A and B are shown apart, each in its own frame.
Chain A
Amino acid sequence: MKKQLKLIFLCTCLLFLSIGAFSYLRWQGNQEMAMNHREAENKWKTFNKVSNKEIKSYPTTEKERKDFKLDEDDHSHDSHESKKRSVASQKTTPEKDPNLRPWKGIGARPLSSEIDNEYNPEWKEELGKNLLRFLRPKTLSVIKRENSALIKHKGKYLMVEHVAIKLQSPEGQHYGYNAYVDSASGKIIRTWNRTIHEKFSRSALRLSPSRN
C-alpha cells in the first residue's frame, strides 16, 4: 500500500513537472518567435517588382547588400530605444502594445484607447507593395525597421514603424530616405532625410504638357 501511494505520488509529481516544463518551453518558444519576428523586421528585406503583377519579397541577399551598398555596421538610427534590452518576462511587444512605443508627438501621450489603428504583422509586405505599386519592373527596394513609434497625424494617433528605405531604379540609380509607415496599412505617412545628389550631368526629368 505504501509502495502504491509512493508510486502515485511520484507519478503525480512527474506529471505536474511535465506540464510545467511543457508550458515553460511553449512560452519561451513564443517569446523566441516574437523576438525572431522582431529581429527579422529589424533586418533588411528586399522587395523586387518582378513584373507588373508580381512582387517578390525575401531577406536581402549578400549580393543585394553589396549592390545596394548597405553598410554592414549600419547604426544610422539615432534613437536609443532599439538598443534598450527588452524586459525578459514581458508578455507583449512594442508592436502589439502601443504603451511600449515611444511617443513622438507634442503634448501628452495619448491613451491606448485613443489609438486609431492596430498593429498588422504584415505591414512590411504591405509597404513593399505600396512602394512598388507605380514603379517599373526591375525596381528593387530594401526596407529595414529602425524602431516603432506613436505619432499624431492629421488629428489621429497612430502606431507607426520608423524605417529606412533604399530604392534602386532599373537604371541602377540609388535613392534613400527615412519614413514613418502606418503599422496597420503599410502606407508611408511621411519621409525625411532624402539623399542630396549632385548629379553632374543635366539629366533632370522633363515633362511635356499635352497638346490640345
Chain B
Amino acid sequence: MRTDSKLKLNWEKAYLLGLILPLLTSCLPSQSGQSKKSSGGSVSNATYTVNPNYGRYFFDNPIINSGNYNLSTSESLSLHLDSDQKFITNNQFLIGSCNFGSQQISKCFEVKEDESSGYLSATENRWAFNPSTQTEEFLQVQTFGNMRDMTERFHNSLEWSYDISQGYGYNSAIPYELTLSDDIPFWYKSGLLKGYADCDAENNAYYDPSSKSVCLGSITAISTALYMATDPTITYHELGHAYTHININMRHRAHEMDIDVDSSLGQVFYDEAGSIGEGLSDFYSFYMTERTHFAEWGLGRYIGQSRPMTEDDSLHAPGINLGSSGRLSYPEFVNYDPNEPNVPYEDVHYSGQIASHFLHAFYTSLLAKNLVDSDYGVYYADKDEDGTNEAYSYADSLYHCGMTKENAKNMTMHLVFETLAELGDQTATGFGDLSNDPNDYKVNLDPENALEWINLVKPINYRSFFQTFSKYFLQTLGNNAFGMCNGLAYDRDEYELLLDRYGLLLFRTYNQDGNNMNSGHSGTHTSVTNTNRVNTVLIDKNMLKLDERADSASAFVIDGQADILSAIESLILSGQITSISEQIDDSFAYNNGNAQISPGEVVGIALNLYNNSNSPMGGIQVLANDWDHFKDKKPCNNLGDNFPLDSEGAANLSSDEGVQGGCDYVTRYNGKDSFNEPDEELAPVCFVEYSDADATKWVNQNLYRQEMGLSANKCLGGSDSLNDCLVRVIKGGDQAYFSKLNPKSTWTETLKNTTTGTPTFTTSNVIFMEINPSIPPGTTFNCRMRARFTNCDDCYHDEDNAQDDYLDYEFSGAKPFKLINFQFTVID
C-alpha cells in the first residue's frame, strides 16, 4: 500500500486545482443583467461569452460609455459595449411581449433589419454579435433591447398612473376602461410596434404611425457609417413618438369608438403641437437614461445637433442658467439652437426644448433635496450683479416635494399622460366617465367635430398643453387632501412661479369645468395668482395686425411656377393636402410669377403680420378655414372688424339677440347640425366685391357666379361646392404658423431670414389658394381670415365670465380671434 505517495499526489492535485479553478471561474460570464460600462479593454461579444438567450447592447450611447466625446465611428464599438450580458429573449426571433395589468400581448413589438427583411435568429440560442463584423445582427439586438426596456418602463409608468387616477378620486382623463377595452388603449389595437434597426434612411430616423413602426437610419456621409440604432437616446426619442401616439388616442380607444382616424400631435411642418411632441420625445430619453442631454453620439458627434434638457448644460449659450431669469423661456427661445445660438431657426426640435427643459425642471422640483444635492450640485450666476459669477446650490433655490427619483419620474409622466389623453380625446368628454351624452362634452366641441378642433380650430399649443398639465397638477400634487409631498400639497405658488420662469403661465384659470356649451362656466375654474406672472406676458389680440408701415407689404404672394410646383409636391407627398381642383392646370401653367393673383393660378399667401406690442408674441396661427361669419348668405359686420358697411351688403342685424340666423349667434355645432340649427352654416373666408347699377356690395361667391353666368360645373369644387366657386382655400393648406414675432416686428424681421432682401418661407407659413381660371380680371376679393397667438390674453379668456376659457363652440366664430382682412384684385 502506497498511501504516502497517493496522499502526496492528491495534495499536488489539490494544489494545482486551487491555482487553476479561480482562473477558470473568472472567465465565466456574470449574469447580473445590469448595465455596466466596460472598464477598459474590449468586449468581444462573441457567442461563447454569453449564456443562452443572452446578449449585449448599449443602454446609453457609446460616448457616455467611453467618456470620449471625440469617439470615432472607425473605432470598434466593442471597446465600449456594456460588459455585462443581458437577457434578450427566449423566442426564436426578436419578438417581445408586454404586460399591462392582467393583460398580456404576446406579440407586442418586434425588430428586423428593415421592413422587407426576415427575422434574425439567434446563434446557438445566443444573441451576442460583434458590432463591427456582424453589424446588422448587432443593430437588431441593440434596438430590441432598448425597445424592450423602454416599453416595459412605459407600461410600468402607465400602471402607476392608472392606480393614481383610480385610487385618488378626482376627475381623471385616464379612462377606467384602460385595462378592460377590447381596443387595447394602452397599446396598439393591432398589437404590434415594429422597430427597423437599419432602414436605409439617410440622415434620418422616423416614426411612421401608419405602419406603427420606428425606423432608425444612419449618417452615411462619414467613412464608417454611424447607425442611429447605436445611440439608444435616439431610439428612446422615436419610441417617445410612438407612446405619445398611444397616449393621445387613449380615451376614444377605451370607449371603443369605431373610428379609423387617429388623433396626432402636429399637423404642419412647424406648429406648437409638433414642438411639444419633440420636447416630450427628448424628455422620454431622460426618462430612460436620467441624463439631461440627448444624442451626443448620433446627432452631436458629426452633425452638431444634439440637444440639452437643462439650463446648466455646457452647450447652452451664456446667459442661460438655472436662475429665475435664466431659463429657456417661451416665446423668447422658440427659435434657439444651442449649437448655433446666434442664428434663429424655426424648427419643432428647437422650440420643443422649452417643453423638455420645463419637464426636467418640474421633475427636479419633485425630488427630495438630498437627491438634487447629489446630482445637480451647483450652478453659477451673477445674482448680485458684481460682474462675477458665484456658485449657488441648485437645491437651495428650488422647491422640493420630497419624492424618490422613480416616483418623481412617474408623477411627471402621469401629468403628461393625463394631458394628452384629454387633449386628444375624440369622445369629447375629456375627463371623467366616457359617455355619449352631449352634456358631457367638455373638450374638442363634440365627437363629430373633435378632429377638426384638434387639428385646426383649437390645436394643442403651449398654452393648452400646460394649462391642462397644470389642472392635473392641481388635482393631484396640489391637492391638500392627497398630501403627495411628504404629507403636504405641492405649494401652488411655487408651481406657478416655476411655470412662469419658463414663460408658460399662459392661462388665467385652471379651467377645471371644461368647455361645454351649457356647463363650461358653471363649475370650478380656479384662478391663477396674478402676481406670480412675472416673466409670462399676455398680450391683447389687437396688438397683432398686418404690417401697415410705409413701404411694407401686407402679404407676400408666392405664385412662381417652380415654387408652387415644389410646394404642392411637398404637401401632397407628406399627405398634408389631398386634392387640387380639376380646373387647375396639371403643370400650373397659369402661374406667371408676377406677384399678383391671376386666374388659373395656385397661390401661396404669407401674411405679413406685425407685432405692435412691446413683448414678443409666440405661436401665431392664421386660420383660413370656413367659419361662422355669414348669415343669410351675407357677411356680418359686427365681428370686430366693422366690415363691410351696411350699405355694402352686410347682413341685417335686426334679428333678436342670441337667436339662430343672427350675426350675434354662433353655431353650437360648427354649422353641421341642420336639425337643431337649420339656419346655421359656415362660410368660406373669401367673398367678392360686386358692382351693380345701384351700389358696390360684398357678396358670397355663388351669388357672383350667378351674376357672371358661370355654370356650376365650372366651380373649383364642382357643382357641389358653390360658395367657394371662384377662390378656394386648399384643405390642408388652410392654416399658417409663425413661431414668433419680436416686439414691433414682423416674422421676417424676427427670424432675419433674408440675405437678399426677400424673405423665404416654409410651407407652414403659407395659406394656399386656388384661383378659378374663369374669374374676370379686375374682380376684387376680400378674404376674412382669423388669427391668434399663444400668449394672447383675449384669444382665450372671457372677461364676461371671470376670465374663464371661452367655450368650445365659440371657436367657430370671431370672439377668440383677431380678424385679418386680406384684399386683392385678380389681375390677368
CA distance A176 to B299 in the complex (A): 24
- Segment among A2-10, A12-20, A69-77, A91-99 that sits at the interface with chain B: A69-77
List the B side residues contacting A208 at CB < 8 Å.
558, 560, 563, 758, 760-761
CA distance A205 to B194 in the complex (A): 30
Q: A52, A174, A194, A205: which contacts B763 (Cβ < 8 A)?
A: A205
CA distance A78 to B256 in the complex (A): 12
Assess whether A207 is in contact with B260, with CB atoms less than 8 Å apart.
Answer: no
Assess whether A71 is in contact with B211, with CB atoms less than 8 Å apart.
Answer: yes
Q: Closest CB of chain B to A188's CB: distance in Å?
A: 4
Does A88 reach chain B (CB closer than 8 Å)?
A: no
Given A76-B210, A209-B595, also A191-B259 (CB < 8 A): no
- Segment among B28-36, B42-50, B198-206 that sits at the interface with chain A: B198-206
Q: Which residue of B lies closest to A173 (CB)?
A: B573
Contact with A along B698-732 (1 / 0, CB 8 A): 00000000000000000000001000000000001
Q: Closest CB of chain A to B673's CB: distance in Å?
A: 10
CA distance A52 to B556 in the complex (A): 30
Q: Which residue of B lies closest to A181 (CB)?
A: B578
Q: Which residue of B lies closest to A195 (CB)?
A: B208
List the B side residues contacting A189 at CB < 8 Å.
578
- 9 additional A-B pairs beyond A134-B588, A196-B241, beta carbons within 8 Å, are A69-B115, A69-B196, A71-B213, A134-B569, A135-B573, A176-B208, A191-B576, A195-B206, A207-B566
Q: Which residue of B lies closest to A107 (CB)?
A: B448
Could you tell me which A residues sit within 8 Å of B by CB distance?
Answer: 52, 65-66, 68-72, 74-79, 102-107, 130-131, 133-136, 139, 147, 149, 152, 155-156, 162, 164-165, 167, 169, 173-180, 187-202, 204-212
List the A side residues contacting B261 at CB < 8 Å.
178, 180, 190, 192
Q: Closest CB of chain A to B334's CB: distance in Å?
A: 16
Assess whether B575 is in contact with A79, with CB atoms less than 8 Å apart.
Answer: no
Assess whether B206 is in contact with A194, with CB atoms less than 8 Å apart.
Answer: no
CA distance A105 to B259 in the complex (A): 8
Q: Closest CB of chain B to A155's CB: distance in Å?
A: 7
CA distance A199 to B212 in the complex (A): 19
Q: Which residue of B lies closest to A66 (CB)?
A: B116
Q: Which residue of A lies closest to B213 (CB)?
A: A71
Assess whether B560 is in contact with A193, with CB atoms less than 8 Å apart.
Answer: no
Q: B259, B586, B595, B766: which contacts A207 (Cβ < 8 A)?
A: B766
List the A side residues contacting B209 at CB < 8 Å.
193-196
Listed from nearest, the 10 A-B pairs whose CB atoms lie closest are A69-B115, A212-B595, A209-B556, A177-B575, A78-B189, A210-B595, A188-B578, A193-B209, A191-B575, A193-B210
CA distance A207 to B210 in the complex (A): 29
Contact residues, B544-586 vs A (CB, 8 A) = 556-560, 563, 565-570, 572-576, 578-580, 586
What is the interface residue range for chain B against chain A?
Answer: 35 or more
Contact with A along B458-475 (1 / 0, CB 8 A): 000000000000000000
List the A side residues contacting B575 at CB < 8 Å.
165, 175-177, 179, 191, 194
- Pairs across A and B, CB under 8 Å, 25 listed: A52-B586, A52-B587, A74-B211, A76-B190, A76-B210, A103-B258, A136-B569, A162-B260, A173-B573, A174-B201, A176-B208, A176-B575, A179-B575, A180-B261, A190-B261, A193-B264, A195-B208, A196-B207, A197-B206, A199-B203, A200-B203, A205-B566, A209-B556, A210-B558, A210-B563
Does B776 reach chain A (CB closer than 8 Å)?
A: no
Q: A69, A164, A197: which contacts B116 (Cβ < 8 A)?
A: A69
Does B131 reach chain A (CB closer than 8 Å)?
A: no
Q: A65, A192, A194, A210: which contacts B559 (Cβ < 8 A)?
A: A210
Does B394 reach chain A (CB closer than 8 Å)?
A: no
Assess whether B579 is in contact with A187, with CB atoms less than 8 Å apart.
Answer: yes
CA distance A149 to B565 in the complex (A): 33
CA distance A164 to B578 in the complex (A): 14
List the B side residues contacting A72 at CB < 8 Å.
116, 118
Contact residues, B173-192 vs A (CB, 8 A) = 183, 188-190, 192
Assess whether B448 is in contact with A178, with CB atoms less than 8 Å apart.
Answer: no
Given A74-B211, A205-B566, also A169-B573 (CB < 8 A): yes
Assess whether A207 is in contact with B604, with CB atoms less than 8 Å apart.
Answer: yes
Assess whether A200 is in contact with B573, with CB atoms less than 8 Å apart.
Answer: no
Q: Closest CB of chain B to A210's CB: distance in Å?
A: 4
Given A191-B578, A196-B266, A210-B595, also A75-B760 (CB < 8 A): no
Assess whether A198 is in contact with B573, with CB atoms less than 8 Å apart.
Answer: no
